[in-house]
Amino acid sequence: MTPALAIDVTGLEKRFDGRTVVRDFSIRVPRGRIHGFLGPNGSGKTTTIRMLCGLLTPDAGSGTCLGFDIRSQAALIKRRVGYMTQRFSLYEDLSIRENLDFVARVYQLPDRRQRVAAALDELGLANRADQLAGTLSGGWKQRLALTACVLHEPELLLLDEPTAGVDPKARRDFWDHIHRLARDGMTVLVSTHYMDEAERCHEICYLAYGRLMVQGTVAEVVRGSGLSTWVVEGDAIVPLAAALEGRPGIAMIAAFGNALHVSGTDRDALDTAVADWRQNPGLTWSRVEPSLEDVFIHLMAQAEDNFG
């Protein structure tokens, strides 16, 4: 049975000041899934997400979000969407409870006080309810922002770089909660630069300079990259990197601590390029699956800049 789609769009384009920032974007996202959007700064991630949910009108293309037309029924979509921006956008001189009460009033929620109290309990904010939002740490601000976004029980949640500037434990707690929301049927679109967060998504898509380069599960994206990768460890990896740079068969060299990832799209040519150094007793070589970061750096190198 084909799952119901939260988003089904084709050929979306957006231009600003004569420059195309999103070009011919198409995607289908089933309900209850977490879909990650990755790419360098200026790749069009945020613009794309805003078009998908009716917050921004495309210059070309068409489609639906939550069953509504993204052009003609944008107002109906917006009330069914929660949007968490990268910057904290609630009132810092109001308490946590006052901020949530304000959001509940905006959405004209019935049983407002009970719903605010339940939200405070659910995310562990009840004992901080009277604390001013401006005095919270980054992790607690993030928790408050997420609570405000889902207070009206949206069908679609948009997260724009949601964990920038928070510690690893807060990031993990945040993602655990996102997965609980998805299990309950909420669809989530998330823009992120973190590879570990991308791996927590059900599917990902990579944009570079306004173009969709690849999409699928993490395993599908890595497998479809065509990259072959060696990891080499040892005391002499710095001069090794300089020696290997630019050799035929080597598409990319990346340092990871005391190791190098050496990758290429032609396995035989890559093996030939590194053959002489594999006999070095001070170096340990292992063939591995390329990392998601390896794949994205490779994709970025292939993309054509749309500036100008």
Contact yes or no for 204/218 (Cβ under 8 A): yes
Question: 226-289 has which CATH code?
Answer: 3.30.70.920
- Angle (CA) 91 66 190, round 5°: 50
- Angle (CA) 242 246 250, round 5°: 105
Rounded-to-integer distance, Cα 161 and Cα 151, Å: 20
- pLDDT top residue among 296 and 31: 31
Mind giving me the DSSP string for 6-25? EEEEEEEEEEETTEEEEEEE
**Domain 5-220 CATH (choose: 3.40.190.10, 3.30.43.10, 3.40.50.300, 2.40.360.20):** 3.40.50.300
pLDDT at 249: 94
Rounded-to-integer distance, Cα 131 and Cα 78, Å: 30
Q: Which sequence spans correspond to the domains of the chain?
A: 5-220, 226-289
% of the chain beyond a pLDDT of 90: 60
- pLDDT top residue among 193 and 60: 60
Question: Residue 304 — pLDDT band, cuts 50, 70, 90?
Answer: low
Mind giving me the DSSP string for 247-284? -TT--EEEEETTEEEEEES-HHHHHHHHGGGGG-TTEE
Residues paired with residue 104 on neighbouring β-strands, in sequence order: none
pLDDT at 163: 78
pLDDT tens digits, 261-273: 999 999 999 999 9
pLDDT tens digits, 132-170: 999 988 888 888 999 999 999 999 999 988 877 778 888
pLDDT tens digits, 70-110: 999 999 998 899 998 877 888 999 999 999 999 999 999 99
pTM for the model stands at: 0.87
Rounded-to-integer distance, Cα 27 and Cα 213, Å: 12
Rounded-to-integer distance, Cα 161 and Cα 41, Å: 11
Question: Exposed, middle or buried, 89 (CB in 10 Å: 0-12/13-18/19+)?
Answer: exposed
Rounded-to-integer distance, Cα 306 and Cα 44, Å: 11
Question: Residue 1 — pLDDT band, cuts 50, 70, 90?
Answer: low
- Select from 48, 54, 49, 50 the least CA-distant residue to 67: 54
